[in-house]
Amino acid sequence: MDFKKQFKEGLLTKNPVLVQLLGMCSTLAITTSLFNGLGMGIAVTIILICSNVLISALRKVIPSQIRIAAYIVIIAGFVTIVDLLLQAYIPALSESLGVFIPLIVVNCIILGRAEAFASKNGVLASAVDGLCQGIGYTTALVIVCVIRELLGSGTFGGGLLNGGEGIRIIPEGYPAMQIVMPVGGFLVLGCVIAGSQFLMKKLETRKMDKEAAK
């Protein structure tokens, strides 16, 4: 088990959103304010850790023919728990994420990690994997959120800071409303992924240069 490697994979080299391109629906739909992005990220991280742990613990019991159905039921159970908890304790978040909380069930990240990692590895490693992938997902969401909120509503930290209003950076009337609408989701995510590919390539060439210099 290599915690550092798993962390690096989750956050950078195998980031679920930016590299593996999983869980696009939620990434595009709810990234309109920092509050939504953080809330969704944390909810998914918790569900990912729980489902990874349980699936990894049961990996020898579940027959492989019906494993996908079993995984989906386990995931749906945890999603329901989180959904009810959010409704009870953070109703504002539950309201603004709406139908996308129950839709976490079909978020490919969770099923993907269950199939690719938790079904083959031990409980502790799977928990760490869930945490790292969750952090990677949350980071990507937060990046997209901050850009969209800044350009679309001209604020930072909407729903969280300054009594829910967010800190105004661009004066009212100037921000491009379309960025918080569906169009902006596609455009901003496209640019963010392009940016991450650009950075990744740069890091790779630098690494190769270093090795060549040796």
SS (H, E, C) 12-74: HHCCCCCCCCCCHHHHHHCCCCHHHHHHHHHHHHHHHHHHHHHHHHCCCCCCHHHHHHHHHHH
Q: Parallel, antiparallel, or unpaired for β 167-168 and 155-156?
A: antiparallel
Q: Is 44 in the site for another protein (CB under 8 A)?
A: no
Q: Report the residue number, 77 or 170, with the smaller CB distance to another protein.
A: 77
Q: Report the residue number, 70 or 146, with the smaller CB distance to another protein.
A: 70
- Binding residues with another protein: total (CB under 8 A): 41
Q: Which of 5, 85, 186, 206 is close enough to bind another protein by CB under 8 A?
A: 186
Query: What does the block give as tokens for 132?
Result: 């790292």
| CA angle, 28 then 31 then 33, to 5° | 165
What is the x/- site pattern for another protein, positions 101-130, by CB under 8 A? -xx-xxxx--x-------------------
Tokens 């930016």: give the residue: 18
Q: Which of residues 65-94 bind another protein (CB under 8 A)?
A: 68-69, 72-73, 76-77, 79-80, 83-84
Q: Which residues bind another protein (CB under 8 A)?
A: 21-22, 24-25, 28-29, 68-69, 72-73, 76-77, 79-80, 83-84, 99, 102-103, 105-108, 111, 178, 181-187, 189-191, 193-195, 197-198, 201
